[in-house]
């Protein structure tokens, strides 16, 4: 699609006064500012969550308890999971949504800018509450990020209330963000941009937003039941009062499974934007990509109990959830095939965003393969709750979601800052990350198959060699992210001036505005022409 660009790039919003300093960020209703806030927040959370992970890996470097007590170890694994899921990955994608969706659909801003401000600014409080529990008598939550009852209720260390309120605030933030995305996409597309002309990036965020609205209230419900079980004498999850601890898992995973697609569908959108740009060829099978995304989203609601095969489900239940889970391989496979077909007979070049996208496709697919293996109930009895599962979801969430976030950042950073970043430093970041991340997560498959359970602070001697390598990979991967920080800061401070469209194969309205993108874009909607 092409567009008229003439009046779009002008800066004609003199009637807005722009506060400076801290007030600019506190009171901002601008989608670009809020996107920036989200992205920085998620990066800070990535570093905090990563620091926790490095303490975990330091403890697991060799057998024995060297650094932390088992109870504190559980606090580390729990908060690491919560921070990475709710603090790093999800807000990063919301940051992308804020920055890019209005610019991609030719809208001047998000539809609900004040709510947008609020949905960001409650987040630091949520994580403030969560992290502050480390400094209290109870300690931080120690029941795993999946907070299974009754470990998180009757047997909790007293952190349950902090945990519940923090999750409530995160949930409110996510729901508001999702409403904003949906309203923006439904109402503010430039004239002529029909649904099936929207960039795939916009589609994936659109579908993700529906998933968020559908399942975040379920999470809110389950944490509230947890709260009343712990402090108000209810027995939702206590057999002694007529409840059922397994019901907790059903409700949790009814949220939890769509949640994992909330964290991967936007990644599909980012990669589907970048691969065509550097293959200089249109995305193969655009409409099948849209349908595949929608299918994955729908299927995500009927597979939750594959996390619970060992809880004592009836045979029929196990078969149903096994078949449905296997079915997800089909639309996911379609996506991978389409990416490969997009690259096929293209004119490929390998700038940093493309390198991360290619790594994404390969490593995410490895995570998909282990996912398919986990889907098979009889074998899942062996894999379940071992390091094989840890390897699986880290391949999907780190080399999947996180790598797509890196890819997207390197792709749009010139548009955001107006500067090109330091290529060789960025290459260092890519190669250090891609090597260390595999040293970190690939041996975990072997550990799991050999029988190492997850969430243990110490292990039998036959697991010692691999754990050492995993820890080394972990430290290297963690430190590699400081290179990323350096690239981004250098790029913000200066660097070679970026062209409006620095990537010759890039498509989309965001490249029709100046670099850096003016504070207000598309105050007049662009005209969308058919090709």
Is 173 tagged catalytic? yes
Nearer to another protein, 90 or 275 (CB): 275
Q: Are 64 and 131 in contact (CB under 8 A)?
A: no
> Smallest Cα–Cα separation from 516: which of 419, 433, 441?
419
Residue 317 sits in the site that holds another protein (CB under 8 A) = no
Phi, psi of 529 (to 5 degrees): -105, 150
Letters for 143-172 (x = contact with another protein by CB under 8 A, - = none) are xx---x-xx--xxxxx--------------
> Active-site residue 168, yes or no?
no
Are the C-beta atoms of residues 262 and 88 closer than 8 Å to each other? no
Catalytic residue among 160, 173, 184, 417: 173
Sign of CA dihedral 439, 443, 444, 447: negative
> What track of x and - describes contact with another protein for positions 324 through 363 (by CB under 8 A)?
--xx-xx--xx-xx--xxxxxxxxxxx-------x--xx-
Residues 235-264 that bind another protein (CB under 8 A): 238-240, 244-246
Q: Total residues contacting another protein (rule CB under 8 A)? A: 104
Inter-helix orientation angle 31-59/403-417, to 10°:
140
Q: Which of 454, 455, 468, 490 is catalytic?
A: 454
Active site annotation includes 16: no
15: annotated active-site residue: no
Specify whether the CB–CB gap between 78 and 36 falls below 8 A. no
User: Which residues 283-302 are close enough to bind another protein by CB under 8 A?
Assistant: 283-288
Quick check: is 332 catalytic? yes
Q: How far apart are CA 334 and CA 327, in angstroms?
A: 12
Contact characters 377-416, another protein, x per CB under 8 A: xxx-xx-xxx------------------------------
Query: In the structure encoding, which two tokens stand for residue 365, read together?
Result: 């697919």
Return the residues of window 448-487 that contact another protein according to CB under 8 A. 449-451, 453-462, 465-466, 469
Please answer whether residues 305 and 321 qualify as being in contact, where contact means their C-beta atoms are separated by less than 8 angstroms.
yes
| From 261, 339, 395, 511, the catalytic residue | 261
Annotate 247-277 with b (16+ C-beta within 10 A) or e (fewer).
Answer: ebbbbbbbbbbbbbbbbbbbbbbbbbbbbbb
Provide, rounded to whole angstroms, the least separation between the CB of residue 222 and another protein: 16
| Residue 253 near residue 309 (C-beta atoms within 8 A) | no
What track of x and - describes contact with another protein for positions 58 through 97 (by CB under 8 A)? -----xxxxx-xxx--x-----------------------
Single out the catalytic residue among 156, 332, 370, 417.
332
Alpha helices in 232-264 (DSSP H): 245-262
Residues identified as active-site:
80, 109, 145, 173-174, 257, 259, 261, 272, 306-307, 332, 335, 454
């Amino acid at each position: 699609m092409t567009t008229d660009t003439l009046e779009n790039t002008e800066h004609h919003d003199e009637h807005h006064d722009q506060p400076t300093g801290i007030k600019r960020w506190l009171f901002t209703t601008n989608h670009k500012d809020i996107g920036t806030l989200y992205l920085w927040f998620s990066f800070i959370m990535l570093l905090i969550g990563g620091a926790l992970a490095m303490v975990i890996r330091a403890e697991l470097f060799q057998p024995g308890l060297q650094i932390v007590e088992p109870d504190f170890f559980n606090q580390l694994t729990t908060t690491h999971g919560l921070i990475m899921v709710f603090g790093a990955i999800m807000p990063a994608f919301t940051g992308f949504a804020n920055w890019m969706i209005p610019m991609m659909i030719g809208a001047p801003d998000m539809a609900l800018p004040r709510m947008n401000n609020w949905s960001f600014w409650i987040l630091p409080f949520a994580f403030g509450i969560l992290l502050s529990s480390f400094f209290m008598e109870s300690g931080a939550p120690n029941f795993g990020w999946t907070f299974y009852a009754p470990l998180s209720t009757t047997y909790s260390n007293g952190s349950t209330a902090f945990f519940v309120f923090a999750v409530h605030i995160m949930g409110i933030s996510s729901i508001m963000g999702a409403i904003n995305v949906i309203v923006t996409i439904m109402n503010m597309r430039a004239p002529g941009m029909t649904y099936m002309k929207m960039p795939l990036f916009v589609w994936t965020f659109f579908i993700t937003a529906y998933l968020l609205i559908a399942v975040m209230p379920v999470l809110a419900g389950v944490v509230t039941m947890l709260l009343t079980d712990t402090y108000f004498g209810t027995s939702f999850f206590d057999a002694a009062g007529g409840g059922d601890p397994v019901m907790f898992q059903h409700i949790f995973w009814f949220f939890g499974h769509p949640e994992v697609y909330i964290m991967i569908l936007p990644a599909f959108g980012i990669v589907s934007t970048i691969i065509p740009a550097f293959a200089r060829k249109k995305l193969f099978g655009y409409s099948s990509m849209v349908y595949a995304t929608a299918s994955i989203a729908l299927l995500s609601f009927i597979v939750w109990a594959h996390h619970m095969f060992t809880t004592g489900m009836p045979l029929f239940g196990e078969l149903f959830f096994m078949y449905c889970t296997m079915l997800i391989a089909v639309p996911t496979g379609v996506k991978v095939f389409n990416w490969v077909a997009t690259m096929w007979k293209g004119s490929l070049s390998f700038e940093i965003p493309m390198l991360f996208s290619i790594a994404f496709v390969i490593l995410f697919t490895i995570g998909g393969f282990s996912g398919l293996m986990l889907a098979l109930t009889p074998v899942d009895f062996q894999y379940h709750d071992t390091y094989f599962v840890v390897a699986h979801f880290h391949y999907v969430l780190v080399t999947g979601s996180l790598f797509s976030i890196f890819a997207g950042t390197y792709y749009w950073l010139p548009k955001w800052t107006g500067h090109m970043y330091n290529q060789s430093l960025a290459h260092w970041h890519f190669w250090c990350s891609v090597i260390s991340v595999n040293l970190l997560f690939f041996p975990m498959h072997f550990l799991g198959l050999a029988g190492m359970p997850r969430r243990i602070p110490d292990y039998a001697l036959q697991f010692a060699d691999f754990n050492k390598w995993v820890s080394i990979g972990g430290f290297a991967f963690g430190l590699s992210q400081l290179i990323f920080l350096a690239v981004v800061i250098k790029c913000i401070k200066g660097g070679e001036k970026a062209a409006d469209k620095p990537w010759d194969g890039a498509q989309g309205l965001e490249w029709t505005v100046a670099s850096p993108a003016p504070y207000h874009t598309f105050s007049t909607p662009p005209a969308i022409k058919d090709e």
